[in-house]
Amino acid sequence: MVKSLKAVAAGAIIAATMALPSTGALATTVIATLEGSDAGGTVTRHIASGFGSSSSGINLAAERFDLLATGGTDVQDLAGPGAVDEFFAFCVEPREYIYQGQSVTYAMSPLASAAMSSIGGIGTVKADQIAELFGRFQSNLAAPMSNVQASALQIAVWEITREFSTNALSVYNGNVFYDVGSDNPGGALSLAQTYLSAINGSGPRAQGLRALTSEGGQDLLVQVVSAAPEPGTWLMMIGGFGMIGGIARRKRNMGSSGLGRAFAPAK
């Protein structure tokens, strides 16, 4: 979430002293509301089979979305437009929905866990393909992009998420495909295919990609740009504050241990 670490440092340290984090700790949360889209367009999607049933002729918003974070326990900064508490996101699952103006509580999750409630998670292979997609063509989710670029990236994410691993990544055929006549803005589908064709496992990977997951709802692809301290860092911070407190206590005791000390009467 787009929060300042300074603003939450005191509360986080107090919370950490009560329950130290671990690598198996529960996921933190982000409460956010969809405000609208930053760039992109629309496209008609078809799913031939698998993961439930076929679904054809659905018009989707293939866009980079703009969300406002309003709460939650996560203290990481997410790539966004620069305004306080705003961040950008792409949808992961082409058969789930997100509604403008609706507040949703998300779990901050590994990208491989996205679409867990609909298809059992995209898994590490597809998560790596998405990381390469963005690593090659948009490593910073907050960087400016045209409507064509935003739409193409969203279509490519959907293709990776829903296409069978035995099929080639193609926006024109396979388990999931798109109507060329619905391509708006024009050129988004062909650009998405160019992006997908470049994924070969040897490209750079975008860093910090995570999923905001919501049971039964649309999961979002986001990018962490400022991470919370690791568990070991919290322990050192807490230990450091304990040492400072101990030194202060010793100084107070030394300063008050001399003869002639005055005592206030007990009440």
pLDDT tens digits for range 119-150: 889 999 999 999 999 999 999 999 999 999 99
Dihedral angle computed from the Cα positions of residues 71, 73, 77 and 83, in that order, rounded to the nearest 10 degrees: 10
| Stated pTM of the model | 0.76
> Looking at the domain assignment, is residue 197 inside a domain?
yes
> Looking at the domain assignment, is residue 126 inside a domain?
yes
Higher pLDDT among residues 133 and 18, named by residue: 133
pLDDT tens digits for 71-99? 999 999 999 998 789 999 999 998 889 99
> Looking at the domain assignment, is residue 146 inside a domain?
yes
> Looking at the domain assignment, is residue 265 inside a domain?
no
Q: What's the rounded Cα separation, in Å, for the pair 183 and 176?
A: 15
Does the pLDDT value for residue 25 go beyond 70?
Answer: no
Q: Which phi and psi (to 5°) does residue 73 adopt?
A: -100, -10
Residue 30 identity (one-letter amino acid): V
Domain that holds residue 126: 5-233
What is the band of 114 on the pLDDT scale with cuts at 50, 70, 90? very high
How many domains, the chain?
A: 1
Burial group, residue 245, by CB count within 10 angstroms (0-12, 13-18, 19+): exposed
> Looking at the domain assignment, is residue 129 inside a domain?
yes
> Looking at the domain assignment, is residue 266 inside a domain?
no
